[in-house]
Amino acid sequence: MRSNHQAGFTLVELLVVIAILGVLAGLGTRMLGYATKRSAIGVAEHEIQRLVLGVESYQIDYGDYPPTSMEEEYDISGNGLDLGIESLVAHLASRARGRTYFEFS
């Protein structure tokens, strides 16, 4: 007697596998986005900590904090935005006083 059963996958089985793969791909993409965001946050936190250490070292060496305006020390005007951080980074990265307190990575 001959068997009429054919080997292979049914359409339902293929759709289930495709759905499972889609769910796994979606989860993987979401986790990758989360990891990328956490990495960017970690880099920003590290840079802020480096700035804090630079300011503290400067204060220990000179007994005062860096100026809040680039015009006072360098006769340079900024772009009118973020003046405090521009001045801080420019002053800490400058070798004008013989030592660099912050280097760009």
Q: How many CB atoms lie within 10 A of CB 74?
A: 14
> Residue 45 — very low, low, confident or very high, per pLDDT cuts 50/70/90?
very high
Q: Domains of the chain: which residue ranges? A: 13-93
Residue 1 pLDDT greater than 60, yes or no = no
Predicted structure pTM score: 0.61
Task: Share the mean pLDDT of the chain.
Answer: 83
| Segment of 31-35, 58-62, 99-103 carrying the highest mean pLDDT | 31-35
